[in-house]
Structure 1
Amino acid sequence: MVVNSSNLKPEVLAYLERIGYSGPIDTTLATLTKLQECHVHTVPYENFDILNRVPLSLEVPDLLDKIVNRRRGGYCFELNALFGWLLMELGFKVTNYFARFWRDETDTPPKRRHHILQVEAEGELYLCDVGVGGIAPRSPIHMTENVVHEQLDEAYMLERDADFGWILSERKKGQWSRLYSFTEEPQLPKDFLMTSYWCENAPDSIFIKDAMAAIRTSAGRNTIAGEEFRIFTAEGVQAFTPKTKDEYAEALRTHFGININN
C-alpha cells in the first residue's frame, strides 16, 4: 500500500525527519527495513530521565515531544511504543508483545520486561525492535523457525519453545544464546504501564543504578556504561570518562545527539 505523503500528519513528517528517512511511503518490507535501520542509527537508547527521577509517560503526544521535538531517546517502552505508532500511521499492521529478556539474566526464567513489535509487511510477519540497549537486530526478522538471519557481522535466529513461545537467539563466537522470548498475546498500550513503572522505581531495577545509552553509527556503535563512554569501530574500542559535567554534556551531544537539558 502506497501512502500519499501529503495526507500524513505533521507529527509523522517530523518523526520521519527526526530519523532521517526520505524514501517511499508504503508498506513494503524494503520500507520497513529502512525505517528500522534509520531509527537505530538516529534515536539513542537511554535512561537519563529515570536516573534523574523524571516520571516517564508512554502517551504518544508526550513521546513525540521527548523523542521527536526534543530529540532525546528512551528505553523499550518508549521507543517501541512510538515506533509502533509511526508504523501504524504509515499503514502497517502492528501487534505489541511482551518479551522476557534473557541476555545477562542470572535469575532465569526472566520476568516480562521488554516491549517488542510484530509487523506485517507484504503479507508476511516480522519481528521489529528499536528498543534494546545492547546489540540487537538492526533489521526486521522474518517470523519463521530455525532460519539464520545474517546482518553484517551479527546473526540471529528464531526458534519455538513449548514454555516460552518464540525465542530470539544471537550467535556469539560460534555459539547460540537466548536474547529474548515472547508469546503471541497481543498487548494494549496500558498493559505496559505497570512494568515500566517497576523499571523506573523498583530497588532491584537495572535502570535506576547507572547511566545507560547506546546508538548505532556508520562506523559501529557508541555506548555509555556508568560514566564511561565507549566508541566502537572496526579499528577497536575507544573508551574515556569525562572529567567534568560540561565534558560529559559535550560528549553526550557529540556521540549521542543528546542535550540532557532538553
Structure 2
Amino acid sequence: MNPAQVDAYLRRLGVQRPARPTVDVLRELHLRHLRTVPFENLSVHLGEEIVLEEKRLLDKVVGAGRGGFCYELNGLFGALLTALGFEVTLLAARVHGDEGRLGIPYDHLALRVRTGDGDGGRDGDGDDGVWLADVGFGTHSHYPLAYEERGEQKDPGGTFSVVASGPDGDLDVLRNGKPEYRLEVRPRVLGDFVAGAWWHSTSPVSHFTRSLVCSRLTDDGGRITLSGRGLTVTAPDGTRDVRELATDEEVLAVYRERFGIELGEVPTVREPA
C-alpha cells in the first residue's frame, strides 16, 4: 500500500496519519473502522466478484466506499496497519456454529498485531504489545483484545476471553462466556483464504448466501443493521427498534445515508447456482 493509498484509507476512517504504531493508535483505528466501514455481504447478492487482492480491496472499500466480510475487511485493515509500521500476522479461524460445531477451514480471518510500545510481558499485566484485532466479525469487541491475556477482558461489546484450546496451541475467543471462534496460531497469507471466501459466497449452506446483511457500529456505541428490508437500530443499552422498509427508495436511502453506500439496485438474496 503506497502513501497515497494509506492517506485515502485514513481519510475514509476520519483519522490523521499517526506518528508511531502505538496501542492507542491501534485502538483508535480499530474503533473508527467499525464505525465507518460496514460489515456487509452485498457483493454475494449483486453478482460482484470477491477478489482477495490488495488493489481490488482498496478499490472497493476506499474507492467505492463499500464494506465487506471478514476476508476483505481484516485483510485490508491488516495491510493498512503494516503500512503504518505495525507488525501484523494473518490468522485463520473456524467459527463455532450450532451445537458447538466448528466451521470450515479458513472460515474466518483475524489479525495478530504487535505494537511498538509494549513491555514484552515483563510486568505480567498482559500488556506485551500483542493484540488480537478483528474488524470483520460483525458484533464483536470494539477494541483489540490482549492476545496473551487469559483472563476476562471488559469491552463495550461485552466480556471477552482468549483461552487455550487443545494440544495444538489453538485459541478460543469467547464473548460473554460463549465461544465465538477458534484461532490457529500459524501465520497465513491473504491468498490462503481464497477457498474460504469462495465457499462462503457460493455454498447453499453458507449463511452469507442465504441472507443479506449490512451492519456497522454507531458513534454512541450502538449498532445499525439492514438485513434485506428489515432495519434494526440497537441502542447502547441493548434495546432495539425494528422496522420494515416499504419501498426500494427507502432501502437505497438507508444504504446511502446510514452506510455511505451508493447502489443502483436493491440487493436481493440470490439462490446459489
**Same fold per superposition (TM over 0.5):** yes
How far off is 1:88 after superposition? Answer: 0.5
Aligned length: 249
**Normalising by structure 1, what TM-score?**
0.90
For 2:225, give the aligned amino acid: T
Cα deviation digits, residues 13-70 of structure 1 (max 9, x gap): 0000001112633111111111111100100000111111211111111111110011
1:139 corresponds to which residue?
143
Superposed, which structure 2 residues align to 1:55-70 within 5 Å? 55-70=49-64
Q: Contact 1:97/1:115 (CA < 8 Å) preserved in 2?
A: yes
Q: Contact 2:142/2:156 (CA < 8 Å) preserved in 1?
A: no
1:31 corresponds to which residue?
25
RMSD: 1.7
Instruction: Check if 1:111 corresponds to 2:104.
Output: yes
The verdict on how the C-alpha distance between 1:161 and 1:107 changes in structure 2, with shifts beyond 3 A counting, is closer
2:256 corresponds to which residue?
253
2:194 corresponds to which residue?
193
More displaced 10-residue stretch of structure 1: 12-21 or 215-224: 215-224
**Normalising by structure 2, what TM-score?**
0.86
User: Could you say what secondary structure the match of 2:162 adopts?
Assistant: strand
Counterpart of 1:244 (choices 237, 243, 247) is 247
The verdict on how the C-alpha distance between 1:243 and 1:195 changes in structure 2, with shifts beyond 3 A counting, is same
The verdict on how the C-alpha distance between 1:249 and 1:24 changes in structure 2, with shifts beyond 3 A counting, is same
How far off is 1:183 after superposition? Answer: 1.5
2:214 corresponds to which residue?
213
For 2:188, give the aligned amino acid: Q
**Structure 2 CA distance for aligned equivalents of residues 214 and 107 of structure 1:** 25
**Structure 1 CA distance for aligned equivalents of residues 181 and 163 of structure 2:** 11
Q: Contact 2:7/2:17 (CA < 8 Å) preserved in 1?
A: no
**Structure 2 CA distance for aligned equivalents of residues 12 and 191 of structure 1:** 24
More displaced 10-residue stretch of structure 1: 248-257 or 226-235: 226-235
2:134 corresponds to which residue?
129
For 1:194, give the aligned amino acid: A
The verdict on how the C-alpha distance between 1:153 and 1:200 changes in structure 2, with shifts beyond 3 A counting, is closer
1:4 corresponds to which residue?
none
Any gaps of 5 or more consecutive residues in structure 2? Answer: 119-128, 266-273
More displaced 10-residue stretch of structure 1: 144-153 or 23-32: 144-153
For 1:148, give the aligned amino acid: E
User: Could you say what secondary structure the match of 1:214 adopts?
Assistant: strand
How far off is 1:153 after superposition? Answer: 5.6
1:3 corresponds to which residue?
none
1:233 corresponds to which residue?
235
Q: Contact 2:37/2:67 (CA < 8 Å) preserved in 1?
A: yes
**Structure 2 CA distance for aligned equivalents of residues 33 and 57 of structure 1:** 28
**Structure 1 CA distance for aligned equivalents of residues 42 and 157 of structure 2:** 30
User: Could you say what secondary structure the match of 2:98 adopts?
Assistant: coil
Q: Contact 1:71/1:258 (CA < 8 Å) preserved in 2?
A: yes
Cα deviation digits, residues 111-151 of structure 1 (max 9, x gap): 23100000001342110000012x20111111124221111
1:161 corresponds to which residue?
165
Q: Contact 1:23/1:31 (CA < 8 Å) preserved in 2?
A: no
**Structure 1 CA distance for aligned equivalents of residues 151 and 24 of structure 2:** 19
The verdict on how the C-alpha distance between 1:153 and 1:86 changes in structure 2, with shifts beyond 3 A counting, is closer
For 2:147, give the aligned amino acid: M
Sequence identity percentage: 29
Q: Contact 2:174/2:180 (CA < 8 Å) preserved in 1?
A: yes
Q: Flag the structure with higher strand content.
A: 1
**Structure 1 CA distance for aligned equivalents of residues 142 and 157 of structure 2:** 11
User: Could you say what secondary structure the match of 2:150 adopts?
Assistant: coil
How far off is 1:226 after superposition? Answer: 3.4
**Structure 2 CA distance for aligned equivalents of residues 144 and 90 of structure 1:** 23
More displaced 10-residue stretch of structure 1: 148-157 or 34-43: 148-157
